[in-house]
Amino acid sequence: MNFHSLDYFVFLACALVGYHALARRGSLRLGFLFVASCVFYMAWNPAYIALVLFSITVDYVAGGAIAGAKDSRGKRAWLTASVVVNLGLLGTFKYFNFFARAFADTVHVFGVPISPAHLDVILPIGISFYTFESLSYTIDVYRGRIEPTRNFIRFACFITFFPHLVAGPIVRASDFLPQLDGPRRLDSKLVSEGVFLIATGLVKKIVFADYLAVNLVDRVFDDPTAYSSLEVMVGLYAYTMQIFCDFSGYTDVARGSAMLFGLRLPENFDRPYQATSPAEFWRRWHMTLSTWLRDYLYFPLGGSQVAPLRAYFNLWITVFLVGLWHGAAWTFVIYGLLHATAMVIHRYFVRRLGRGARQPDPLHLRVLKVLGTLHFVVLSRIFFRAPDVHSAFGVIRQLGAGSTALFHVTASLWWLLLAGYFAHYTPRGLFDGLRERFSMLPAPAQGVLLAGVAATLMLVATQDVVPYIYFQF
C-alpha cells in the first residue's frame, strides 16, 4: 500500500476515525491501532505478519526477562538471545543467498566447485527497519536506559505503527512508547503541521521523484550507451535528487500521518546535499539509521576513545555496514567501501589539520567543499542504483566517453532539476516558516491550498504507481 495511492488515504482516514473515536478507551485504542497496523502490513503479504509478530514476541519476552534477571550473566544471555534471533532472521531472509553465492565463488577459485545453497523466499518488506527498532528496545533495557513495558499491545504498537513500519524512520522505544500513554486529543496545530508535511511529501514523490525516474533516470540506467556522457551525468544528478525526494518524501508522509494521531516521529533528513564532508553528509542523510549504528555499534566498539588505528577501524566498519544494510549485493558492498574509506580519509585529515584550532571556512572554500561532497555522493550512487556491478561499470564507461549531446534532456527536466536543487539549498528556516504560516491559516484557506496541491498532483502524476525506493530494503 503505497503512501501516494488513494488506497492509503482511504485506509488512513478509517484508521484515524477509529483511533480518535476510542480516545477515552486507552486499551481498546491501542488494540485498534495494532490491528490496523497489521492490516496495513498484510496488504503487502499476509503471511509475513507472522514474522513481525514473532520478532515482537521474542523481544517483549526478552525485555522483561532482562529486567527481571538476578545477575549480569542472565541479562547477557537474554540480550544475546534477542540479538541472535533478530539478526538471524534478518541475515536469513536478506543476506543468506548473497553470502552462500559469495562462498561458492570463493572456493571455486581454489578448484572446489560447489552449488550454492539457495533460499527461494521473498524479502519481507520493512525487515531492516523493524529489526533495528526491536533490537534497540532490548539493548536499551539491558543498558538500564528504559524500563520494559509490561503491556504487550503497547510494545506491539511501537513496532507495527504503520507510518514507520515498512521504511522508517527508525524509531527508538524511549522516544515512542511514552507517547502512547494517556489520552490523545486532536491538536489543531499538530494536525495542520501533519497535513502540510503529507502534502510536501507527496509533491516530492510525485512531482519530482517519479517524474525524474520515469523520464530520465530509469532510461539512463537501463541503457547508458543510448545517451551521451553529459546526459548520463545529468541522469546521475537527477537520480541524486530522485532518491532524496523519494525517501524524504516518504518520511514526510510518515511523520505527517503520525501527527494526525497525535504522535511524533523523528526527522530523517536535514538538507544532506548541503554537507561539506562525507561525515556531515551521514549526519544529515537517513539520520535515524546513522545514529542507530553510532549508538549501538560505533560507541560499543570504543568509538574514537581508543588507539588511533582502532578508532579508524571502528569508523570504517560502521560506515561500511551502513552501505551493506541497504542490500545484499556486490554493488552495495562497493558503495559501503567507498563511503567508509572516504570517512576514514576525512577523519585522518581533520585530525592532521587540527580541527579545533581552525577558523571557520571562508565562503568560497565552503562552496568548494559542498560541491566536492555532492559529486562524491553523486558518483558513488552509480553503485547504489545499478542492478549489478557490470551495469555500474557500463554507466561509468559511458560517463567517460566524452560525448556532449543533450538531445534527451527536455526543458521540463531541466526546470525540475533546477527547482529541486534550488529548494534544497535554501535555508531550512524558509521551509519551517512556510509550515508555521500554513498552520496559522484558517481551515478554509488551508483547504483551498490543499485542493490546489491535489489538482497539481493529479495533472503531473505518472500513469503507473512508482514504488518507493526504500521499500526494497
Run of H or E residues at 378: helix 363-385
Run of H or E residues at 320: helix 308-325
Q: What is the dihedral of CA 373, 377, 378, 383, to 10 degrees?
A: 150
Separation between Cα atoms, residue 322 and residue 330, nearest integer Å:
14
Which residues touch 158 (CB under 8 Å, ≥6 apart)?
Answer: 133, 137, 149, 171, 173, 176, 177, 180
Give 466-469's long-range contacts (Cβ < 8 A, gap of 24+): 466/209, 466/210, 466/213, 466/214, 467/2, 468/2, 468/3, 468/167, 468/205, 468/246, 468/247, 468/250, 469/242, 469/243, 469/246, 469/247
Which of the following is catalytic: 4, 164, 286, 326? 326
> In sequence order, which ranges of 6-151 are alpha helices (DSSP H)?
6-21, 26-42, 49-68, 72-90, 96-109, 127-143
Locate 385 and state its grid cell: 542504483
Run of H or E residues at 188: helix 188-202
Locate 110 and state its grid cell: 581454489
The answer to whether residue 408 is catalytic is no
Query: What's the distance, CA 351 to chain centroid?
Result: 30
Contact 247, 468 (CB under 8 A): yes
The interaxial angle of helices 6-21 and 26-42, nearest 10 deg, is 170
In the three-class reduction of DSSP (H, G, I as helix; E, B as strand; rest coil), residue 138 is classed as: helix
Separation between Cα atoms, residue 204 and residue 420, nearest integer Å:
9
Which amino acids are annotated catalytic? 326
